Amino acid sequence: MGGGEVARYMSRHGGNAVTKAALISSILPYRLKSDDNPGGTEQSEFDAIAQSIKADRAKFFSKFFNDFFGVGPLSSPVSEELIEWARSISMQASLPATLACLQSFSSTDFRGDLSSFKVPTLIIHGTEDKTVPIDVSARPAAKGIAQSQLIEYEGAPHGLFATEKAHLTRDLLAFIGRGSA
C-alpha cells in the first residue's frame, strides 16, 4: 500500500522535504464501491477475499501472485522461484495482519489527499493490472493530482518491479533527472 503512505505523508506533513513523488501500481484514490465511487469494487468481493485468506492463505496467495505478476496459460513473465519468494514473504505475516492489510487497502479513502500533492508526481500503472485495475486507480489519481504524469504500461500486470523492471527503471530515472542540475 505504498501509494497510501505517500498520500498520507503529503496530506499530514505537507510533503515536507519532498520534491517529487512516484506512485507505482498504486491503490489511490479509493478502491471500495460507494454511491460517490460507482466504479469501485463491491464490498462482497473483498469479503470473499477475506474468506479465502481465512480458509487457506497458502492457496489464496498461489492464485493471487499469478494474477499479481500476470502469469497465465500463455504467459509467464516471472520465474516460479520469484512467485514462491513472494508467497513465502506473504505467509510470514500473521493472519490478523494480512486481514488488516486487506481491510486497509480496500476501504481507505485517499481522494481527499490528492490535492496535497504539490510536487511533480509520476504515476505508472499496467493496463492489465488485475490486482488494482487502472480505471479505478491510476487514471482517476492522475486527474486528481495537479502536477501528475501518467504512464500506462500496455498489457502489464500489477508487479511491475519484476515484470517491467528495465522499463520501470528507465522511466523512474528519467523522471528523477528531469529538472535536476
In CATH, what number is assigned to the domain containing residue 21?
3.40.50.1820
Residue 4 lies in a domain: yes
Q: Range of 50's domain?
A: 42-108
pLDDT (tens digit per residue) in 64-106? 999 999 999 888 899 999 999 999 999 999 999 999 999 999 9
Residue 35 lies in a domain: no
Q: If we measure between CA atoms, which residue out of 84, 79, 94, 44 comes closest to residue 64?
A: 84
Q: Is the pLDDT of residue 180 over 80?
A: no
The label of the residue with cell 494474477 reads: 67
Residues 6 or more apart whose CB falls under 8 angstroms from that of 94 comprise none
14 with 53, same domain: the answer is no
Residue 118 has pLDDT above 70, yes or no: yes
pLDDT band per the 50, 70, 90 thresholds, residue 43 = very high
* All three cell numbers of 86: 513472494
126/83 same-domain check: no
Expressed in angstroms, the distance from the first to the final Cα of the chain is 32
Query: Does some domain include residue 174?
Result: yes
User: Closest by alpha carbon to 163, among 151, 155, 172?
Assistant: 155
Helices (H), the chain: 2-13, 43-55, 57-68, 80-92, 95-107, 138-144, 160-163, 165-177
Res. 181: pLDDT tops 60: no
Residue 35 — pLDDT band, cuts 50, 70, 90? very high
141 and 180 belong to one structural domain? yes
Please identify, among 79, 108, 137, the residue that sits at the C-terminal boundary of a domain. Answer: 108
Number of domains observed in the structure of the chain:
2
Pair 103, 117 in one domain: no
Among 108, 127, 148, the domain boundary falls at 108
